[in-house]
A and B are shown apart, each in its own frame.
Chain A
């Protein structure tokens, strides 16, 4: 029997059910880890660490989740705060070595639906996009990813990132034009 997110959350909060929480983790781990890979320049280890931290904090704060926003949005909010706080600390320590490791990118990618014949062009696309996104600020990256990839509304993004709606619009517009510039540069370079 399929249990809804709300059922699982209730079981975690009221019965401290680890099984129910494991089900929630299994349900959301792939999209969350993918998003964090996109937001960390496809640094798999860092993205997985942040995803783990996100789930641990979510478990701790689950009693306070009132169900006003989608569970995924609530989870992204925690993940966003984790990511921002990680990069802030890293910048302070001048240890921003999170853009470098692209070699292991394709190792554990699986196609949607479990097809073994993985399209390497698509793999490169995901990696390249993550790399291109590194030229944006943390906020622009997050706003653009949530808007264009996760198809969140601007209001949802505003709630997730705890910033005004106007700022979300600006972040998306500027992020898009910056990425568009990069795309044109790459296309020009590819033609020459």
Chain B
């Protein structure tokens, strides 16, 4: 600094040699402290969901071969007592397992 004898001269030198201070994550830190963007209101969110659901349904109705699909659905189902018993047994077992898992906090 001693080579400068005048304040204006000194400031002119610092002005011309002002260093660029690297961002180095500074702006990231600032952004992290900004308040989060306001969430959509309940009604807006509901409206958007419904609108896109309706759009999806319309597209599916227009392009999906629904007639061919209905042909695949069986018109008559024959079930024996033994099969019915097995199915109900399996359902009971699944329910009991779910109840046990819930009560013992296994998940």
Contact = CB atoms under 8 A, between A and B. Distances in A.
Contacts of B24: 108
A96 interface: no
B15 A149 contact: yes
Contact of B19 (A34, A52, A190): A34
B21 A34 contact: yes
B11 A148 contact: yes
Interface of A: 16, 18, 21-22, 25-26, 29-31, 33-34, 37, 48, 51-52, 55-56, 59, 108-114, 118-119, 122-126, 128-129, 132, 148-149, 151, 176, 179-180, 183, 186-187, 190
B26 interface: yes
Return the 9 tightest CB-CB contacts between A and B, nearest first.
Answer: A148-B11, A25-B27, A190-B2, A122-B17, A128-B1, A30-B21, A109-B19, A55-B30, A33-B21
Given A26-B23, A59-B34, A111-B20, A124 B11 contact: no
A124 B1 contact: yes
B10 interface: yes
Contact of A110 (B11, B22, B27, B33): B22
A25 B20 CA distance: 14
B26 A33 contact: yes
B29 interface: yes
Contact of B7 (A37, A110, A176): A176
B31 interface: yes
Main secondary structure of the interface of B (DSSP, over half): loop
A25 B24 CA distance: 12
Given A18-B31, A22-B31, A29 B37 contact: no
Main secondary structure of the interface of A (DSSP, over half): helix
A180 B1 CA distance: 12
Contacts of A183: 1, 4-5, 7, 10
Interface of B: 1-2, 4-8, 10-11, 13-15, 17-24, 26-27, 29-31, 33-34, 37-38
A151 B14 CA distance: 12
Contacts of A148: 7-8, 11, 15
A129 B17 CA distance: 13
B41 to A, nearest CB: 15
A151 B15 CA distance: 9
Contacts of B17: 111-112, 119, 122, 125-126
A42 to B, nearest CB: 11
A187 B38 CA distance: 59
Given A25-B30, A56-B34, A129-B1, A149 B23 contact: no
